[in-house]
Structure 1
Amino acid sequence: MNIERLSLDQLRVFAQIATSGSFLAAARALSRAQSAVSYAISTLESQLGVPLFDRSSYRPQLTAAGIELLRDARQVLAQVDAMQARAAAYSLGQELEITLAFDVFFPTTALVALLSDFRAAFPGVTVRLEIEALGAVAERVIDGEAMLGVLGTLPIIPPNLLHVSLPSVLLVGVVSPSHALAQIKGRIPSHVLERQVQLVLSDRSALTANQDFSVHSSLAWRMSDLGTKHALLRAGMGWGYMPQHVVADDLASGKLVTIATEAHPPEGAALPMQCVYRPDRQVGPALTWWLDALAKLTIFN
């Protein structure tokens, strides 16, 4: 066996015969003489040391080894084709990978729809997606680790970043119906909130470390994961602000109820979202797509 001398052309001929069903049909599909196709396969079989086709019947049939090796051949060809497509795109200025940092409050359904459309438009570009809170999104963009970021929980825009305004997310104060705050009608005074555990997202960045936003209690429990905060709210472990789209089902089923604070009415408050990127960032076709797609958003469903 001399596998080092295998060629991509031989593998393409092998795969085409299996697809076409005969040497003659494969020759026509490849615009070659049938003798050239037969020679390519016989040489490949000699190099591999196993027969790929049983030629005893009218139409060639894949042998057991041929069936298994065809999977490998097609996988190799797919990887080579993908490499060629990515290299060709890169030569034209298209990114091979794009890194995005999104705020944890950005609606997941909207993000999934955007990613689906992007994959259809740029199938050869891989995506690295980071979900962060507070200053971590802006920090990723400032450091150059992310090409583009979407801010939400960070109420300020760093002056060294360009930004595009996006639709707002509705933020509501919620608690479990068994929580003491759920029994209070109307707006809850600040001195009452101060004595109750507030569940808040923590900042993993140095950009806004030790800064609090919309924190009204001296008994704040901090966590970096929105899912954990959601679970603790439903368990009655405290109160907190959540995106309305995240807790909509809980509000409908009664697992959570809204509360009114002095800063937020019970129907919620609009939280502006911003797309940010560095002014010195080279903008290729893939990044341009994201800037355009985000700018076209008018509302979050």
Structure 2
Amino acid sequence: MNIERLSLDQLRVFVQVADSGSFLAAARKLARAQSAVSYAIATLEDQLGVLLFDRSGYRPQLTRPGMALLADARQVLDHVDSLQVRANSYARGQELEMSLAVDVFFPTDCLVDLLRRFRDTFPAVTVRLEVEALGAVAERVIDGRSMLGILGTLPTTPPNLLRITLPSVQLVAVVAPGHPLAQVKGRVTEKMLRQQTQLVLSDRSELTARQDFSVHSRLTWRMSDLGTKHALLRAGMGWGNMPLHVVKDDLAAGRLISISTVHHSPQGEELPIQCVYKPDHPAGPALSWWLDSLAGLKSLEPLAEVQPVP
């Protein structure tokens, strides 16, 4: 076996013969003489040391090793084709990867819609997505790990970043129906808030470490995952602020109740959302697409329903 001498052309001929069902049909598809196709397959078999086709019948049939190696050949060709597409894109100035840091409060449906449209526009560009809270989003943009960030839970924007204002997210303070604060008639006082456990997102960045935002209780439980916070709220483990789009079904079903405090109204409050990026980062086609698409958002509802895969 001398696999080092294999050529991509031999693999393409191999796949074409398997797909076409005969050497003659493959030759027609490839616009070559049948003898050239037969020679390419024979040479490939000699280099691999296995018989790929059984030629004893009217039409060549894949052998057991041939069927196994056909999948490998397809995979090699897929990788090579992807390499070629990405190299051509890069030669035209297009980024090979788009790195994003997104706040946990940004609506998932809107993010999915943006990512789907980005994939349709830039199929050769890979995406690296990190979902963070507080200063971790801005920190990743500042240190270059992310080309673009979407801030929400960080109340201030670092001065060394450019920003685009996006539609806001509505926040509500919520508790489970059995929680002590749910029994309060009217506005919850500051003293009552301080006496109850507040569920708070933790900050995994050095940018705003040891800083508290919208923390009103002397007893806090901190977590980095919004889904965990949501589950703990529903379990009655404390009170906390949540994006309305995350808890609206719970509020409608009575699994959670919005509370009124000196800091919150039952209808909630608007949380500003911003897109941030470094002024010295070169904006190729992919990054420019994101900046234009985010700047054009009129709401954070998805622009189109995602069609299910049949």
- Give TM-score, length-normalised by structure 2: 0.94
> Partners of 1:257 and 1:77 in 2: how far apart?
56
> Partners of 2:109 and 2:246 in 1: how far apart?
10
What number of residue pairs does the alignment pair up?
301
Give ranges in structure 1 of 5+ residues lacking alignment: none
Q: Equivalences for 1:55-204 in 2 at 5 Å?
A: 55-204=55-204
Moved more, 283-292 or 169-178: 283-292
Percent of paired sites with the same residue: 71
Q: Which amino acid aligns with 1:36?
A: A
Please give the per-residue CA displacement for 1:244-290, whole angstroms capped at 9, x wherever unaligned.
11112211221111101112110111111100000000111111111
Other-structure match for 2:304: none
Give ranges in structure 2 of 5+ residues lacking alignment: 302-310
1:299 positional shift: 1.2
State whether structure 2 residue 220 is matched by structure 1 residue 220. Answer: yes
Q: Which amino acid aligns with 2:156?
A: I
1:185 positional shift: 2.2
Moved more, 215-224 or 35-44: 215-224
Q: Equivalences for 1:278-289 in 2 at 5 Å?
A: 278-289=278-289
> Partners of 1:84 and 1:256 in 2: how far apart?
52
> Partners of 1:212 and 1:245 in 2: how far apart?
24
1:154 positional shift: 0.5
State whether structure 2 residue 296 is matched by structure 1 residue 300. Answer: no
Q: Which amino acid aligns with 1:240?
A: G
Moved more, 37-46 or 223-232: 223-232
> Partners of 1:183 and 1:279 in 2: how far apart?
50
Other-structure match for 1:33: 33
> Partners of 2:83 and 2:300 in 1: how far apart?
36
Moved more, 140-149 or 90-99: 90-99
RMSD (CA atoms): 1.1
> Partners of 1:100 and 1:199 in 2: how far apart?
26
> Partners of 1:272 and 1:31 in 2: how far apart?
61
1:58 positional shift: 2.1
1:300 positional shift: 2.2
> Partners of 1:64 and 1:208 in 2: how far apart?
60
1:186 positional shift: 2.1
1:25 positional shift: 1.5
Please give the per-residue CA displacement for 1:31-61, whole angstroms capped at 9, x wherever unaligned.
1111111110111111111111122222211
Q: Which amino acid aligns with 1:168?
A: S
> Partners of 1:18 and 1:122 in 2: how far apart?
31
Q: Which amino acid aligns with 2:65?
A: A
Query: 2:209 is paired with a residue of what secondary structure?
Result: coil
Please give the per-residue CA displacement for 1:112-161, whole angstroms capped at 9, x wherever unaligned.
11111111211211111111000110011011110000000011111111
Query: 1:188 is paired with a residue of what secondary structure?
Result: coil
Please give the per-residue CA displacement for 1:40-92, whole angstroms capped at 9, x wherever unaligned.
01111111111111222222111111111110100000011111111111111
Q: Which amino acid aligns with 1:100?
A: L
Query: 1:216 is paired with a residue of what secondary structure?
Result: coil
